[in-house]
Amino acid sequence: MQQPLFTIYSLWCATLFLWLELYAQTYTLEDTGKQCSCKHLLIRTIRNFAIIYLIGNILMCIAAVPTIDISPLAFSALGLILIAIGTGGIKPCVAAFGAEQFNLPAQKEMLLHFFSIFYFTINLGGFVGMTLTPILKKAVSCFGDDTCYALGFGFPAALMILSIFLFIVGKNVYKLKSPKKKVILEFFKCGWYALVEKFRTMKRSDHWLDNARGKFNVKLIEDMKIVSAILLLYTPLPIFWSLFDQQGSRWTFQASHMNGNIMGTQITPDQMQVVNPAMVLILIPIFDRIFYPCFSKINILENSLHRMAFGGIIAGTAFLSAGILELALETTYPELPRRHHASMNIMNTLPCDLKMSHSHSSLQTIDSGELVRIKNMMCNNFSTYRLAVVAPLQCDDIRFHNHKFDLSAVCIEQQIDSVLIGINENNEIQAYVTDPVDFKKSLSGTPRVRISYIKSSDYFHNVTVTLKGTSGLEDMYFVQDSPSSSLSESAYMEVPQGVYECIVSSNEEKHLFEKHFHLAYGGVYSLVIRGSRGEIAVSLFL
């Protein structure tokens, strides 16, 4: 579920289920004059929605257990729905419940400090959860897997059980207020009546709610005018939360296209989500104890409305900066072919420079180990292109009998294909077409590598490619001996960023080739290995 939709759904659940809860509880039976005891209404509301939230966490935990014969997708979807309902029901209640514990205006300053501490603890929990949960998931293995996703969901569920228990235990020390009227119902009755009267009588009035005078209490009408004015403050909130919650999706993808190296420390894109609660933990004490008291002395940001406006401006500036940054990053993104067009990457794996031409370009040079991209080639469904390649007769240790070669390559519409220029067993230049390039960045920003092996002779068997990182991490790729194909490819592999030692070995020789490569964050690489006449050559293409 996308983050903006999840946020809007959560807010909708909050409104719907809170109204249902309030409507279901009769505060005052006006026709009989009897009053019910509803002091524990808000406690029950928070408790019930917390239980719904807990059930959602438990379902997510069950869905992550591979040994249980259930539908993970169905359980995950149901769990997310319950978590959305629980979140939407808890959020509008806990803040109001906390505010009810203070006597106003005598404890106004204490109330402001309470909300600072309240928000601080929320973000402290978010910071600890975002930091500790991934560590637990990776550090613990369960159900035969290297990781334990079930623990990642079970740990928050256990904490939710503890929080519900602590909330219920403190019930006797809470200050509880008893509602006197069905405010929600009266609110909608008055509003509906005022609208109907306005359009029925077409009378001019200072405010549209004045049409309800005589039918409803004057105080209720005045209170509703205040509420309707306050509602203007909430109009930008759906947009704000839709953008704010992008930090778990689009902003993380944006970070995967950037260099996270700051003063020698590498920040991964998925760690950016931790920055928000960390910044809140740092800034709340500073603002609460230093900035706001200083601003109050010079009559700036004295009340909550001014602070909200100032915060909204800062948030809008942050969103704007992210948008400007994305526009700058878009210039570095690969240009994907449009309809009826295709693109082609020509990679020179030979140890000498080549000259190449085709119907869309004049003669151009492709340096050894370099890549040339031919963009926007006309292509309906798929088309075959002729490539004219000119090579020196002596290409390092390779000697050609002819220096001109006509090659063919097939391109597919709206796709970027890769063509490797190598040699075959007859010592002639040949074009090898690989699988299409996948430019999708990894969510964590780690580099993605695909290994291609061109086997132009039968000198080596069971070729193995090993990537050794400086941290001790080691990835191995075993090349299959296929008599029917001269090209062998691996799937894209995600490896941590850093310098890697590439070692190529076979049954005949343990160290055919050894070289160091640097794999940067967000990079999508093709590691091409060419074996010919007892030698191995390796090229890295980005």
* Domains and their CATH numbers in the chain: 1-179 (1.20.1250.20), 182-238 (no CATH), 249-333 (no CATH), 335-437 (2.60.40), 439-542 (2.60.40.1120)
User: Per-residue pLDDT tens for 263-302?
Assistant: 766 666 666 777 778 888 888 888 878 888 888 888 887 7
Predicted pLDDT of residue 72: 83
Predicted pLDDT of residue 381: 77
Predicted pLDDT of residue 378: 79
Task: Give the residue among 465, 412, 439, 454 at the shortest CA–CA distance from 525.
Answer: 439
Give helix 3-24 / helix 41-63 axis angle, nearest 10°. 140
Residue 32, C-beta contacts closer than 8 angstroms, at least 6 positions apart: none
Residue 5 has pLDDT above 80, yes or no: no
Residue 20 has pLDDT above 60, yes or no: no
Burial of 453 (0-12, 13-18, 19+ CB in 10 A): buried
Predicted pLDDT of residue 55: 92
H and E: helices and strands count for the chain: 12, 23
Q: Which of 5-9, 178-182, 364-368, 405-409 has the lowest mean pLDDT?
A: 5-9
Looking at residues 126-152, what average pLDDT do you find? 75
Predicted pLDDT of residue 25: 38
Predicted pLDDT of residue 458: 67
Q: Higher model confidence: residue 22 or residue 147?
A: 147
Q: Higher model confidence: residue 427 or residue 77?
A: 77
Residue 87 has pLDDT above 60, yes or no: yes
Sign of CA dihedral 329, 334, 335, 338: negative
Exposure string of 165-192, with b = 16+ CB inside 10 Å and e = fewer, is: eebeeeeeebeeeeeeebeeeeeeebbe
Pair type for strands 354-358 and 361-366: antiparallel
Cα Rg, the chain, nearest whole Å: 33
Sign of CA dihedral 236, 238, 244, 247: negative
User: Per-residue pLDDT tens for 302-326?
Assistant: 777 788 888 888 888 988 988 898 8
Predicted pLDDT of residue 306: 82
Extract the tokens encoding 205.
């009035």
Residue 334 has pLDDT above 70, yes or no: no
Predicted pLDDT of residue 485: 58
Task: Give the residue among 146, 158, 90, 150 at the shortest CA–CA distance from 118.
Answer: 90
- Average pLDDT along the chain: 76
Predicted pLDDT of residue 442: 58
Residue 11 has pLDDT above 60, yes or no: no
Extract the tokens encoding 318.
């942050």
Instruction: Report helix, strand or coil for 363.
Output: strand
Burial of 399 (0-12, 13-18, 19+ CB in 10 A): exposed
